[in-house]
Structure 1
Amino acid sequence: MTTRAALLRRAERHTPLLLAGLVAAGTWASATGALGVRSPLPRLLVLAVALASGAAAVAARRWPLVVAAVVGWVVLAAWPAAVLASWRAGVGLRGRRLTGHLLGAGLVALVGVVVGVAVGGERRLTTATGANATALFAWVVVFPLLAGLWIQARRDTLAALRDRAERLEREQEARADRVRAEERARIAREMHDVVAHRVSLMVVHAGALEVTAADTATVEAAALIRSTGRAALTDLREVLGVLRQPAGGGTPLPAAGLDAVDDLVADSRAAGLRVDRRDEGTAGPVPGAVARTVHRVVQEGLTNVRKHAPDAAVTVRLRHLPDGIEVAVLNGLATRPGPALPGAGLGLVGLRERVELAGGRLSAGPTADGGYLLRALVPVEELP
């Protein structure tokens, strides 16, 4: 495909030179009798007209070619420049200008007949008799003109179809964007009306419990619930802000970096988990997408521990490798079941998709001692 495109570009660069050579060679062949009527004029004059016709064929303006066509036909009975002029008229002229071209071509044809009668001989027989003059006019003027008109009509049709297709594509994209914006707004309203309302009630009740409770442990638990609920409301507000903004034009959510893993561990410890964090290797610069993926793996792992093994010891390990980060959340055997928390069971599915989109691998499953291991390897380099 690349070779073909290169050949086409090279051919386009040499097209003017090739066209000039064809017109000049055709005019010479026509005037010397190889492709037309042999002219009795000196060969030097024939060569000059042929070269001038070739130069006029690639001129930026139209009139040099018209003059070359008139001179070539009247003086030499040479047809190449006239054929090219008629074809270009069909491609580029419309209305009165096209009518003017036809009238001018008819007048030149009449002058050619008069010259043929005056010259006599082979030229009179070939160009000045009624049948031959009519056939030559059709061959030199009418057929190239019709070919030019057909080509231009085809170009106009293709351009109109292309414009229509592009317009329909733009309209379809606009409709899709509008539907997506409406769906995002609907989701934002639902989340605000349902989730935000319930989390706000939880924060209010936790604050009331913190004020009225006499037990120190209860006060600390209520304070933790209240602060966690406020953080959840803040995160929810940011998500709703992104959803309400136009698709592709909004501000992205704040990036959760590797430092936020400490916050996850601290929150889990405050909730009663026995969490130990370990770092191995030398930490280097980490792209934002990689840091968010690592944060999400740790968050999902700790959430699953709180659900299924709240009394088990947990180890969060970040291993910095030359080409990536290995993150693992390992918990031991649980002696009592966790609280019955609602969930759709799609956390690991979505997490696996997120890790694989980042170019990494994720594994999750029970260990030999009855615990559970969630492990992901995320490349450091972001995908293009």
Structure 2
Amino acid sequence: MRFVLLGAAVSALSLPVLQGQAGAPSGLPLPAAVAVAAAAGAAAWWARRSWWPLAALGAAAYVWFLLWPPLLAASYFAGRDLAKGRDSAAYLGGCAAVCGASALVGAWRAGPQEMLAATPGNALFLAVAVIGLPFALGLWTRARHEVRRRAEREQVMRAEQARAQERARIAREMHDVVAHRVSLIVLHAGALEVRTADEAAARAAALIGGIGREALADLRDVLGVLRSPEPAAAVSAPLPTLGDLDRLLDQSRALGIEVVRRDEGEARAVEPAVGRTAYRVVQEALTNVHKHAADARTDVRVRYRPEALEVEVRNGPPPAAPAGLPGAGWGLVGLRERVELLGGTLRTCAEDGGGFLVAARIPA
């Protein structure tokens, strides 16, 4: 829009200049003057892509008709866009040649044009006003933009540095606290498996140890993501998806929860992000069952719709009041964000009778 306004302004200024400035008419008939003014406006509008046509037209019009608006606009773009000193010097040298040629033409035509173009004082004034000042304004505009871009780059670099430091701090905390305690759980589970004479207790200890080792492997990958400048390259193990859902359910069954899985619709391959999100929905729901409704029967439904994948995890009321495990309370919040990032919806609600439902619908 601003280049349309620029073109209109150049045309509007060019026409009266061609009809006569300081008593020096161009000698062009009105239709020709209108055509030249329109060409100058079109060249100014085209400066949004390239300002060189505007500079060429401005130079020719300045030499023959002392038409200054196109050259003034071209000088501003030259100062703004010519980054190399050699290019700027070449442009200013060309403008000096244009002023010299204009002085020669003015002397040849004599009269008012000679007074404007060939008199040293007037020629210098026009050169400074038409070329020098717009060029300096373009230089100032470019410098201001460069300062702004440099400030934005520095701000981005400071933000990235702060993120990297925070990621490193989180990684240290997770390594020193979480990984240490999970390692102790694995060690104690291994000791219990070896020392107990109860076969059922040994199987439970082995299961706890296996889950703890998987947790350590996942934690190692997470620490790699936090410490790596390229997180995508830090994950060494493939992330779980729908194909790993049965193994997740078997782990819950081994801990004493009755879990039943039902699939509805024709099973098909879905996008990896959709499969991983569906797996996390079931995982988080089962985690909450372990925390808040231990031993409660749990139904897991996976529905393959033509346009979406639906996952429901519904547990009944626990047989006895659970002791409960500590939690941060952010599991379902993060899960909702993960589902909504894929354009899906997550519904969580308590049901009549004491059960709980976690249902996700993910476009697939």
TM-score (ref. length: structure 2) = 0.74
- CA displacement at 1:134 relative to structure 2: 8.8
Give yes or no for contact 1:127–1:136 (8 Å, CA) kept in 2.
Answer: no
- Among residues 201, 207, 218, which one is paired with 2:184 in the alignment? 201
User: In 2, Cα distance between the equivalents of 1:357 and 1:59?
Assistant: 47
Are 1:286 and 2:277 an aligned pair?
A: no
Are 1:329 and 2:337 an aligned pair?
A: no
Q: Rate the CA distance shift 1:314–1:349 in 2: closer, same or farther, 3 A.
A: same
Cα deviation digits, residues 44-77 of structure 1 (max 9, x gap) = xxx9xxx9xx9xx9999x999989987x6xxxxx
- CA displacement at 1:322 relative to structure 2: 0.7
Are 1:162 and 2:145 an aligned pair?
A: yes
- Among residues 25, 40, 43, which one is paired with 1:35 in the alignment? 25
**Aligned positions of 1:65-144 closer than 5 A:** 79-80=65-66, 97=93, 104=100, 108=104, 123=111, 142-144=125-127
User: In 2, Cα distance between the equivalents of 1:59 and 1:312?
Assistant: 78
Cα deviation digits, residues 123-176 of structure 1 (max 9, x gap) = 5xx578xxx579966556522542211111111111111111111111111111
**Who is 2:353 aligned against?**
369
SS of 1:374's equivalent in the other structure is: strand
- Among residues 288, 296, 307, which one is paired with 2:291 in the alignment? 307
User: In 1, Cα distance between the equivalents of 2:218 and 2:312?
Assistant: 25
Give yes or no for contact 2:225–2:232 (8 Å, CA) kept in 1.
Answer: no
Q: Rate the CA distance shift 1:336–1:97 in 2: closer, same or farther, 3 A.
A: same
SS of 1:256's equivalent in the other structure is: coil
SS of 1:375's equivalent in the other structure is: strand
What runs of 5+ residues in structure 2 fail to find an aligned partner? 44-50, 80-87
SS of 1:174's equivalent in the other structure is: helix
Q: How many residues align?
A: 332
User: In 2, Cα distance between the equivalents of 1:262 and 1:232?
Assistant: 17
Q: Rate the CA distance shift 1:168–1:133 in 2: closer, same or farther, 3 A.
A: closer
What runs of 5+ residues in structure 1 fail to find an aligned partner? 39-46, 73-78, 117-122
**Who is 2:227 aligned against?**
244
Equivalent residue letter for 1:143? L
Q: Rate the CA distance shift 1:68–1:223 in 2: closer, same or farther, 3 A.
A: closer
Cα deviation digits, residues 93-134 of structure 1 (max 9, x gap) = 76995997599579849965xx95xxxxxx5xx578xxx579
User: In 2, Cα distance between the equivalents of 1:269 and 1:276?
Assistant: 9
Q: Rate the CA distance shift 1:88–1:237 in 2: closer, same or farther, 3 A.
A: closer
Q: Rate the CA distance shift 1:336–1:127 in 2: closer, same or farther, 3 A.
A: closer
SS of 1:220's equivalent in the other structure is: helix
SS of 1:363's equivalent in the other structure is: strand
Cα deviation digits, residues 175-227 of structure 1 (max 9, x gap) = 11111111101100100000111111111111111111111111111111111
Q: Rate the CA distance shift 1:239–1:99 in 2: closer, same or farther, 3 A.
A: closer
Are 1:221 and 2:211 an aligned pair?
A: no
Q: Rate the CA distance shift 1:67–1:374 in 2: closer, same or farther, 3 A.
A: closer
- CA displacement at 1:356 relative to structure 2: 1.8
Equivalent residue letter for 2:267? A
User: In 2, Cα distance between the equivalents of 1:276 and 1:377?
Assistant: 20
Give yes or no for contact 2:282–2:313 (8 Å, CA) kept in 1.
Answer: yes
Percent identical residues: 42
Equivalent residue letter for 1:80? L
User: In 1, Cα distance between the equivalents of 2:52 and 2:337?
Assistant: 62
Q: Rate the CA distance shift 1:142–1:227 in 2: closer, same or farther, 3 A.
A: same
Give yes or no for contact 2:59–2:95 (8 Å, CA) kept in 1.
Answer: no
RMSD value, Cα: 4.4
Indicate the larger mover: 145-154 or 200-209.
Answer: 145-154
